[in-house]
Structure 1
Amino acid sequence: MTELRDIDPSSPFLAQLHGPDDGQPVVLIEPYVVPDGQTEEFLATWHQVTLFMKAQPGYVTGQLYRGTSGSHVLAHTAVWENLGALQQAVTSEEFRKIVRRSPDGTVALPVIVRQAAVPGICVGS
């Protein structure tokens, strides 16, 4: 099963997940560290999780990234219409059942973010 760790201890993932929902889009960024030799098993579970998520209200799109040069890091991003939709999906029993199938020793470091505006570079949401 996957171990959940916080990237930013001052704003733990579960606090972010259960924070106020202002109805604006959110992005889940979830890097994983997968044990040696377990990548295919992880990808099979991730595939099932993603099929489930795609069917949930409020899911917009997602993408998986894979580390280079033999890295054990994979990272998933998912755009959601709002925090409430993400919260409902990840707290469902069906989601929890699927996630329990992930390889032992897998570490997830999820964070919920929003687009940020930087003048002349990128627009926010």
Structure 2
Amino acid sequence: MPELRPLDPSFPIQRQLALEASPVVLVNLLTLDKADEAAFLEAWRGDAAFMKAQPGFISTQLHRALGDSPTYLNYAVWESTEAFRTAFGQPAFQARIAEYPASAVASPHLFQRVAAPGICVA
């Protein structure tokens, strides 16, 4: 089971899940031992397939750090915190978390898009 280490210790994912926002982006930075990469990727693919079937799921993309760093970044878009909270809280998903290698450290955080006139929309 991975260790959860908040990106912002003063506002961990458990507090974020209590908020209502729409849409939201889950950014999850994951580190692990290099020897555990194959097991990690297998567990992540299973999680991604599970989440893809959940109401409110829009998309996900996994990124790997360049070079020899066994660091990954998962980026997932959801219609709302409610949709993500419902999927994340399902017992079937919670059971899947145990499939990750013990060396994995996950730092999930929810974000909303920000508008910057002439650059991007919210």
Common fold by TM > 0.5: yes
Give the secondary structure class of the aligned counterpart of 1:109.
strand
Q: Paired residue for 2:93?
A: 95
Q: For residue 42 of structure 2, what is the aligned residue in structure 1?
A: 44
Partner of 1:107: 105
Task: Report the Cα distance in structure 1 between the residues aligned to 2:68 and 2:17, rounded to whole angstroms.
Answer: 32
Per-residue deviation at 1:69? 1.0
- 1:30 maps to what in 2? 28
Structure 2 contact 36–103 (Cα < 8 Å) conserved: no
| Letter of the 2:5 counterpart | R
* Aligned counterparts of 1:12 and 1:104: Cα–Cα separation in 2: 21
Q: What residue number does 2:11 align with?
A: 11
Cα deviation for residue 36 of structure 1 reads 2.2
Using the aligned pairs only, state the percent identity. 37
After TM superposition, the score normalised by the length of structure 2 is 0.96
1:28 positional shift: 0.3
| Rounded Cα–Cα distance in structure 1 between residues aligned with 2:74 and 2:107 | 10
Q: Give 1:80 shift.
A: 0.4
Instruction: Give the corresponding residue for 1:2.
Output: 2
Residue 118 of structure 1, CA deviation: 1.4
2:48 match: secondary structure: helix
1:54-88 residue CA offsets vs partner (Å, 9 max, x unmatched)? 00000001100000011111011110011100000
For residues 18 and 91 of structure 1, what CA distance do their matches in structure 2 show?
Answer: 12
Query: Aligned residues, how many?
Result: 122
Cα RMSD for the two superposed structures: 0.9
Tell me the residue number matched to 1:119. Answer: 117
TM normalised by structure 1 equals 0.94
1:80 partner letter: W
CA distance in structure 2 between the aligned counterparts of 1:10 and 1:41, rounded to whole angstroms? 31
Kindly report structure 1 stretches of 4+ aligned residues shifted beyond 3 Å: none
